[in-house]
Amino acid sequence: MEQTILEKIKSYDTIIIHRHNRPDFDAYGSQLGLASLLKLNFPKKNVYVVGDDSSYPYPHQMDIISDETYNGALAFILDTCEMKLVSDDRYKLAKELIVIDHHLNETNLNPTIIYKNEKWISCSEIIADLAIKWGFEFNKESASHMLAGIIGDSGRYNYINKDNGEHTFYISSVLMRYGVDVKEIYDFLYIEPLAKRQARLLFSDFKLSENNVAYRFNDQALIEKSGLDFFSVSRGMVNGMAGIKEVPIWANFTENEAGEVVAELRSRNISIVDIAKKYGGGGHANACGATLKSFDEAMLMINDLNERAKQ
């Protein structure tokens, strides 16, 4: 299948790369990494990246393209295989669609090709692995994007295990050959303005279920009071409950502007992705999420997580 994807790439003059909405490091890393690789190895092709925007370590800009650009084009969707999560649904206008993903979800996108490896820690790792197999030329830009994706989705290499660790470190070592500044990635992750650090104090408390599931609720009023953006609260505050010996599962529930509640779920040594799927979400075994209708539904999810924590 790897060779088939390469032949598809070679046969199209226009390639448009999508990924999931509310992009994290891996969504960006795989999307921008693939785009950089294609531009480097096929300089005559028209390569575009589309979607919503978020914070990310490296300078980037999403392309503004017309519907007509999709005529006769090849579209990629990376780091998700679910229709509702794709940022910009105009991939439907493309001639063919290739989906590359690593999450524990089934696809409803009806692609020409779907390429998945659920063992590997990130979609960026898959893109890098494919590029190595294809004999692509790399540079610092493409390698930096993909290593950022690997660092992000591995939880700074915290989520690797005996099944995926060797390959993750191998790919990382290959990418490091191209002069990636790892400190730049980690500085972006850990260094923040004083005001943001002080705002975090608003999100430092949490509740515990009977079986020590840690959780907290963040409504719109609290987000506005903090002065932080939604992503910084939803994704950024979940691991404030991590690293506590007695807490095997932790969850952050954040209300968005539409009144929905975005659940970010994390665990240590307990798979919880099936619970995320039960509520229409998905992701990884120990890092997943879902979008819920209300905080009442969030309490139902907490009950399920509490039962799982008994194990």
Residue 311: pLDDT over 80? no
Task: Classify residue 259 as exposed, middle or buried by CB count within 10 Å of its CB (0-12, 13-18, 19+).
Answer: exposed
pLDDT at 104: 81
pLDDT at 250: 98
Enumerate residues 6+ apart whose C-beta is below 8 A from 175. 128, 138, 143, 144, 146, 147, 150
User: Same domain, yes or no, for 179 and 36?
Assistant: yes
State both tokens at 104.
């524990």
pLDDT at 283: 87
What is the per-residue pLDDT across 150-165, written as a single tens digit (0 to 9) for each? 999 998 998 888 888 9
pLDDT at 159: 85
User: Same domain, yes or no, for 237 and 158?
Assistant: no
50 φ, ψ (degrees, to nearest 5): -135, 160
CATH of the domain at 151: 3.90.1640.10
User: Same domain, yes or no, for 270 and 174?
Assistant: no
User: Same domain, yes or no, for 177 and 96?
Assistant: yes
pLDDT at 164: 86
User: Same domain, yes or no, for 182 and 200?
Assistant: no
pLDDT at 113: 97
Enumerate residues 6+ apart whose C-beta is below 8 A from 90. 50, 67, 70
Local structure of residue 23 (DSSP, 8 states): -
User: Same domain, yes or no, for 169 and 203?
Assistant: no
Residue 259: pLDDT over 90? yes
User: Same domain, yes or no, for 198 and 98?
Assistant: no
168 φ, ψ (degrees, to nearest 5): -60, -45
Last residue of a domain, one of 153, 188, 223: 188
Residue 243: pLDDT over 90? yes
**Mean pLDDT of the region 254-283:** 94
Last residue of a domain, one of 164, 188, 212: 188
User: Same domain, yes or no, for 176 and 46?
Assistant: yes
CATH of the domain at 250: 3.10.310.30
pLDDT at 199: 93
Note down the domain range covering 45.
2-188
How far lies 273's CA from each of 34, 110, 136, 210, 277, in Å? 27, 23, 34, 21, 6
**Mean pLDDT of the region 134-143:** 98
User: Same domain, yes or no, for 183 and 203?
Assistant: no
pTM score, whole prediction: 0.87
Last residue of a domain, one of 188, 208, 225: 188
Number of domains in the chain: 2
pLDDT at 305: 98
What is the per-residue pLDDT across 199-221, written as a single tens digit (0 to 9) for each? 999 999 999 999 999 999 999 99
Per-residue pLDDT band for 106 (boundaries 50, 70, 90) equals confident
What is the per-residue pLDDT across 281-297, written as a single tens digit (0 to 9) for each? 988 889 999 999 999 99
pLDDT at 163: 83
User: Same domain, yes or no, for 100 and 210?
Assistant: no
Instruction: Tell me the percentage of the chain whose pLDDT exceeds 90.
Output: 87
What is the per-residue pLDDT across 45-55, written as a single tens digit (0 to 9) for each? 999 999 999 88
**Mean pLDDT of the region 118-138:** 96
- State the Cα–Cα distance between residues 235 and 24, nearest whole angstrom: 9
Per-residue pLDDT band for 73 (boundaries 50, 70, 90) equals very high
| Mean pLDDT across the chain | 95
